[in-house]
Chains A and B, each alone.
Chain A
């Protein structure tokens, strides 16, 4: 690394450093002072921002299982090139969620209890087991990238032999617990606001995470292409765009048929905070990206695909926050705003996650290299043009 690179402190680096320092201080405080003094949680609002972030982290990791299944189970070889970024995203997402879950637990020293003290009726029990099992699966799926770097051929051969059962188990665990995050709320039909409560909540959670997870790949590919000229071929990205378009359309139809069949359409027009936030979620997360992706010129354009992915992700984030916070405000009788500590610990983990992705993508073979080799000329020209528009 060049010396001037080492000392080049850009705005984002300074920002990240500050976020990390404050975040570490907050984490330390949370364990020293307890949840009561560091969070705005209360008896009426026992779950807050962190639970929402858990849903988001795991949801955005969904490409890990969808892409692995597409490439390895359905043998669609053209998506082979995005298996690694997808697995890496999922791996980082899950690690963030596990750390945050432990921080959120009242008795973090007992985090291992679900392993020995079972309750098969509990959704939380199922989630705990799925998170643990899928994290092991992701470790196995990502391990070859590390072994490759250090040229260890024997373990790669071993992993290749068990790769198909591993991928199948990964898909099953993911399916179960992406949906079971929605199942968490099934037990509280009288507490969750009608716009979000549905006996199909697990199905909604499962379908919406697919679109968000794939958007995450487009998002990362775009940023990585800007940062260090690695990325993905545009036809792979537009393939993803088409799938996102289809999934979003299906989910939008399901959402509204669910509301219609359960006689909840009236809630769409009540002048309440919930209604506004629900419509915001629909517009940002569905209407805008569906519109962008339905225009044929835009679906083959990196920049527009990137915009569509940003909207899809934002809508998804809003949906999970609505389910975990907005939907419960009315019945809890308390307005909840996350505390400084809750926000700073969340930001710490987000920054660490982005940083980890960047470092690993740069130093390991995550994005396909022949992208640069095959279409160097075209890509360089495109990058230069982008630099002109967006700046370096």
Chain B
């Protein structure tokens, strides 16, 4: 397995220039959706946004979970967690049930609502570029190093190092390291994450487990249920037969005594 690639976004380094936003638009051939990129929001034509919270800027994008919810819920396996890290989507398989949108803990997937054959749209962590050995367009475009690309394990180590070395500067948590079991996008910040519009209410375990605890009972429900129903059928049928026989036998006995 190849080394997984990821993104480390450091809020303390972001100046809110919008280079990542523009690079993403160009890379994915997306329409411009807002004159002021700071006021834009994720949509079927915007895979990443930069939001301003007082003096801080926060990027929002797909977190590329290690055990992605979208991959687990899609009935036709239209989503795939690639070896390189990106969670990618195949529009040709998609049936359009939108379960991925409903299930995603970060509410990231967007939909082409105005289309008559709509597809899901979201960041793909520049999978095509990664395959060619290049880094993500947003990381390449970032002038300050706020968005940094690299091997996931090295990024985690780097994030931890920054938190450790400058405890006054950083809120001592890495967003995306444990949320929904962790993923390939990590965020560090000077303030708690809920102050930057990040959802901090996300369970710290892989989401597919929540469904698995119900799904794993299916084989036993089917086998025990099947045996129980078949057994009940034979039992009740036999019971009815015995009742009938007894009734006939009883009547027969009566006849003899007469």
Contact = CB atoms under 8 A, between A and B. Distances in A.
B157 interface: no
Interface in B207-234: 207-208, 210-215, 218, 221-222, 225-226, 229-230, 232-233
A41 B114 CA distance: 11
Contacts of B214: 123, 179-180, 183, 186, 199, 202
A118 B201 CA distance: 31
Interface string B4-36: 000000000000000000000000000000000
A164 interface: yes
A228 interface: no
B73 A123 contact: yes
A19 B253 CA distance: 66
Given A168-B229, A172-B226, A106 B98 contact: yes
Contacts of A105: 95-97
Interface stretch (B58-66, B115-123, B138-146, B161-169): B115-123
Question: How would you classify the secondary structure of chain A's contact residues: helix, strand, loop or mixed?
Answer: helix
A106 B69 CA distance: 20
B229 A190 contact: no
A276 interface: no
Interface of B: 42-43, 69, 72-78, 93-99, 101-103, 105, 107, 109-119, 199, 201-203, 207-208, 210-215, 218, 221-222, 225-226, 229-230, 232-233, 236-237, 239-240
8 nearest A-B residue pairs (beta carbon): A106-B96, A36-B113, A75-B236, A124-B75, A46-B101, A125-B75, A46-B98, A117-B76
Given A34-B115, A42-B113, A172-B222, 12 more contacts: A33-B116, A36-B114, A37-B114, A47-B102, A73-B232, A74-B232, A75-B237, A106-B95, A111-B95, A122-B99, A127-B75, A171-B229
27 contacts: A33-B116, A36-B113, A36-B118, A37-B113, A43-B113, A46-B102, A47-B102, A75-B237, A106-B111, A107-B95, A114-B75, A117-B93, A119-B72, A121-B72, A121-B73, A122-B73, A122-B75, A123-B99, A123-B215, A125-B76, A164-B233, A168-B230, A179-B214, A186-B213, A187-B72, A187-B211, A199-B214
